[in-house]
Amino acid sequence: MKIDRYDLVVIGAGPAGTTAASVAGRLGKSVLLIERDPLIGGAGINTGTIPSKTLRETALALSGWKSRRLFGVDLSLRREATASDFMRHEVTVTGEERQRLTRRLSDNKVCTLHGLARFVGPHRLRIESMDGTVTEVEGERIVIASGSSPSHPPEFPFEDDRVHDSNEILEIKRLPKRLVVIGAGVIGAEYASTFNALGTEVDLVDGRDVLLPFLDAEISRTLTDAMIANGVRFRWKERVTACDASRPGPLKLTLSSGTILECDDVLVCAGRTSNTDQLDCTAAGLVAGPRGLLTVDDRYRTAVTHIYAAGDVIGPPALAATSAEQARIAVCHMFGVTLKEDIATVLPTGIYTIPEASMVGETEESLQKQGIPYIVGRARYADNPRGRIIGDDVGFLKLLFARDDMRLLGAHVVGEQATEVIHIGLMAMLTNSGEAIFNRACFNYPTLGDLYKYATYDALMQVQGGVCDSAVVRILVDPVESAIEQQKG
């Protein structure tokens, strides 16, 4: 058997794998990208990031959500939306993104092979394609970027076409009237919001009693209240003990409290497991940990020094953006390139619920735990002209400044476009900036970016003892109102 040899072999064509392959190809290296599925793109394009966010926007459009909130007028479809209506834009967007990715790989002279890869040695892989063809290749260096798959708890009969995981939900043939979502993590909360916007009755079941506890508690409470106001029913401190899928009739879920929930479909979001079980990592000298995760150093190198790993396969944060950054660092390190040597010290988190939420840096709770004195500044969408234009009366920006030098320690947003607005705070934190940069900045008017200036003024007005005189801040915030107050005095 002829064995082809490459400078780099990449396992998995998701965000981490395609980035690693493209960077190495651009560096002039010979690269083979192996993908077990027929389509490249991984969860980022095919089953997760891009599709779920596209579906959210489709739900907002088809449901007339924004028109009802802005004008009190229902501009939604005057007929029942079908699953085909719901999925059409998602299919278009994901298809175009795959084409773009394919062109990029081709431009960088990356070879692609579809099949299931297994290690047969530290440098050698055997790939079995869907037609049974077996190929063996060798890589001077290897990147494992095989991603992850949804976990399947045994109490759910996933063979039933009404029981879905977060990958398979995208293949739904009809829109359910009643949906139960199991797991109030990021994926569960996002899909609960999306289907709720389409008019589906949604119950969200979770064993905890707090939504997304990694968020700042105030943001979590606001998001919870908004989702409840939109119609999502939370079932806290509950777990499913049985799922009766017998036909005819609806699915019947028995909760730990004894409550019975009936629904048309159930979506199980019970975490994900790293896709290393079929790689035979031991043949390469690697040992996978719990949930199949691989351990790496700060350059994403495993215990076998020529093998690197990036993305979901190494665990949190397991985001498309961070996975790509990890892959860039790994490839630059393995080929001695200094263009990209480390990942950012602070990373943003975006949650595409309705409303959106996003954060970067510390929360109030983390600062309190560390004993770090801080000042909070807030600015509401309802007090911002752009916020009023888009009809968002729930959203707000929350900034956390160090009390001693007013350096920005954390930024948190809930509301429309939160995942975009957060980037201003991200850049400020990456440059160790604080109140002065927001005070000095002149933002376009009217924009949500202006929230940063007014959240900063709110924080400055609370400062006691010399950072800034509160009377001066009042003039900055509203000079006309301040002049009137002085005349009255």
pLDDT for res 67: 56
153: which DSSP letter? -
Secondary structure element (H or E) that encloses residue 428, with its range:
helix 418-430
Sign of CA dihedral 41, 42, 44, 47: positive
What is the radius of gyration, based on Cα positions, of the chain?
Answer: 25
pLDDT for res 63: 72
Whether residue 395 contacts residue 357, with contact meaning beta carbons closer than 8 Å, is answered with: no
pLDDT for res 466: 43
Question: CA–CA separation, 8 vs 20, rounded Å?
Answer: 9
- Residue pLDDT, tens place only, 203-252: 999 999 999 999 999 999 999 999 999 999 999 999 999 999 998 899 99
Q: Strands (DSSP E) along 170-244, which ranges?
A: 178-182, 201-205, 233-235, 240-244
Q: Residue 54 CA to chain centroid, in angstroms?
A: 13
Q: Which residue has the tokens 């077990």?
A: 36
Whether residue 196 contacts residue 231, with contact meaning beta carbons closer than 8 Å, is answered with: yes
- How does pLDDT run along the chain (489 residues), one tens digit per residue? 678 999 999 999 999 999 999 999 999 999 999 999 888 888 777 777 787 888 888 778 777 666 556 556 555 554 556 666 677 777 788 888 889 999 999 999 999 999 999 999 999 999 999 888 999 999 999 999 999 999 999 999 999 999 999 988 888 888 899 999 999 999 999 999 999 988 899 999 999 999 999 999 999 999 999 999 999 999 999 999 999 999 889 999 999 999 999 999 999 999 888 999 989 999 999 999 988 899 999 999 999 999 999 999 999 988 889 999 999 999 999 999 998 888 888 999 999 999 999 999 999 999 999 999 999 999 999 999 999 988 898 999 999 999 999 999 999 999 999 999 999 999 999 999 999 999 999 999 999 999 999 999 999 988 854 444 444 455 555 543 443 344 444
pLDDT for res 469: 45
Question: CA–CA separation, 324 vs 20, rounded Å?
Answer: 8
pTM of the model: 0.88
CB atoms within 10 A of CB 198: 21
Question: CA–CA separation, 478 vs 82, rounded Å?
Answer: 50
pLDDT for res 483: 38
Question: CA–CA separation, 428 vs 448, rounded Å?
Answer: 16
Largest CA distance in the chain: 93
pLDDT for res 76: 57
pLDDT for res 337: 94
- Residue pLDDT, tens place only, 112-147: 999 999 999 999 999 999 888 999 999 999 999 999
Contacts 24+ apart (CB under 8 A), 169-174: 169/267, 170/47, 170/51, 170/55, 170/87, 170/90, 172/83, 172/87, 172/265, 173/83, 174/82, 174/83
